[in-house]
Amino acid sequence: MPSGTYLFTKNFLWGCATAAHQVEGRNENNTWFAWEQEDGRILEGAHSGLACDWWGGRWREDFDRAQAASQNAHRLSIEWSRIQPAPDRWDEDALDRYREMLIGLHERKMTPMVTLHHFSEPLWVAEKGGWENEAIIELFAAFVMKSVEALMPYCSLWVTINEPNVYAFHAYIEGVFPPGKKDPKLALQVLAHMVRAHARAYHIIHDLQPEARVGCAINYRGFKPAGWFPADRWVAKAYSRLFNDTFPRALHSGLFDSIIKKHTIPGAAGTLDFLGLNYFTCEQVRFSPLAMGAFFGRRSFPQDALLSETGMIAHHPFGIIDCVRWGSQFGVPMIITENGVDDQEDDLRPQYILEHLHDLWRVIQNYYPVQGYFHWTLVDNFEWERGWTQHFGLWGLDLETQARLRRPSASMYADICRTNGISSDVVEEYAPQSLPKLFP
């Protein structure tokens, strides 16, 4: 069998992604803390609690692990409710802690990418109506200005909003994120407000820091028709238009097109310096006239798909090629800002990472401008409404002791980062079943 190494481009970013509420702990002033207190909102009645205790300082040891594993970048978010705990108060101590984290990354020769909104808002913002109220656009703008002014000496790579499509879908259609509503009209209103908030943030950041690169992170979900029936193709395309396309197309062209109605958003066109792509899996969609609440579609995975431990992710590495090709329509460089699989026993993860990275390498060879890859995630963390039931970390977490438990994939990913590529030796050691596909 052939041997060799698939090398990525020079200066490729290799790292992991994290989110403030999921790793910091002791966060008691935001929408997710309040959501956790309500019965039935989180699987197994879980609470974030200490999470990974980053607010207590354990980010240092996790950054040390990432550095020792040859990662040269890290994506983290900052928590709005810590920086602005009340409408009339800024917490300089919180900003100092975030400065310390970013300085810590620089000391470890790792490039920071900072996300400004990752699913959570202060309680006082929620009391004003949150993203349903257009007033949030200027509230968010003030938070962005304060945060970027404080942190721009240590960061020039910014994600304004993480997965606005997921936020709108889970919070306002499925109702599993706070505020837990099921109102498609509100979902589109929230998404439009997020477009406007992103645009305001984009211009603010560039006014403060002209050399900055500003983007958003979109969760790309591949929707494939389940069969030959024309209605299956129609509903799969409609799902992709609504879920994948609406937000980034508005940032590209200034036109907010939700299929239902269209309108122009002034100042939104051309507000992407790069596109963050979060890719986990693909689904097949079958038309169903009875599924009115699900936009007339039934989603499922193929019967023969390799599934994650919870059955929520199907191993479909070719989908990352579709993802990048789709992202290329916006004419800006791309970064894979999240990709991973829940796998406590680390059985599927080595194969998942290697085969996704191989297909990512393949699409890059066709001159698609992908500049980095951030694995989700560094350490098992609090996975939103799924609590502690999903295990995405290269390192596991003992909730009782806060001990980190190194999984084999951590060593495998370290070799990939160190080599800037995928070697046949690594594939043979960690996922020999992938050898015939990667090195035929």
Q: What is the DSSP string of 291-330?
A: -GGGTTEEEE--TT--B-TTS--B--THHHHHHHHHHGGG
pLDDT at 293: 66
CB atoms within 10 A of CB 298: 16
Q: Which amino acid is at 422?
A: I
Question: In the structure encoding, which two tokens stand for residue 351, read together?
Answer: 């194969």
pLDDT in tens, the chain (440 residues): 689 999 999 999 999 999 999 999 999 999 999 999 999 999 999 999 999 999 999 999 999 999 999 999 999 999 999 999 999 999 999 999 999 999 999 999 999 999 999 999 999 999 999 999 999 999 999 999 999 999 999 999 999 999 999 999 999 999 999 999 999 999 999 999 999 999 999 999 999 999 999 999 999 999 999 988 889 998 999 999 999 999 999 999 999 998 878 999 999 999 999 999 999 999 999 987 776 666 777 898 988 999 999 999 999 999 999 999 999 999 999 999 999 999 999 999 999 999 999 999 999 999 999 999 999 999 999 999 999 999 999 999 999 999 999 999 999 999 999 999 999 999 999 999 999 999 99
Question: In the structure encoding, which two tokens stand for residue 334, read together?
Answer: 């791309």
Distance, CA of 275 to CA of 331 (rounded, Å): 9
CB atoms within 10 A of CB 416: 25
pLDDT at 2: 82
Q: What is the DSSP string of 148-162?
A: HHHHTTT--EEEEEE
Distance, CA of 250 to CA of 263 (rounded, Å): 9
Which residue(s) pair with 204 in the sheet?
none
pLDDT at 248: 98
Whether 147 and 99 have beta carbons less than 8 Å apart is answered as no
First-last CA distance in the chain = 7
Whether 215 and 158 have beta carbons less than 8 Å apart is answered as yes
In the CATH hierarchy, which fold is given to the domain comprising 9-408?
TIM Barrel (3.20.20)
pLDDT at 285: 93
Q: Which amino acid is at 292?
A: M
Whether 111 and 105 have beta carbons less than 8 Å apart is answered as yes
Distance, CA of 18 to CA of 108 (rounded, Å): 17
Whether 104 and 59 have beta carbons less than 8 Å apart is answered as yes
Distance, CA of 249 to CA of 269 (rounded, Å): 9
Whether 374 and 75 have beta carbons less than 8 Å apart is answered as yes
Say if strands 73-77 and 13-17 run parallel, antiparallel, or are unpaired.
Answer: parallel
State pTM to two decimals.
0.98
Distance, CA of 66 to CA of 349 (rounded, Å): 18
Distance, CA of 133 to CA of 262 (rounded, Å): 20
Distance, CA of 113 to CA of 214 (rounded, Å): 10
Whether 386 and 43 have beta carbons less than 8 Å apart is answered as yes
Q: What is the DSSP string of 354-421?
A: HHHHHHHHHHHHTT--EEEEEES-SB----GGGTTS----SEEE-TTT--EEE-HHHHHHHHHHHHTE
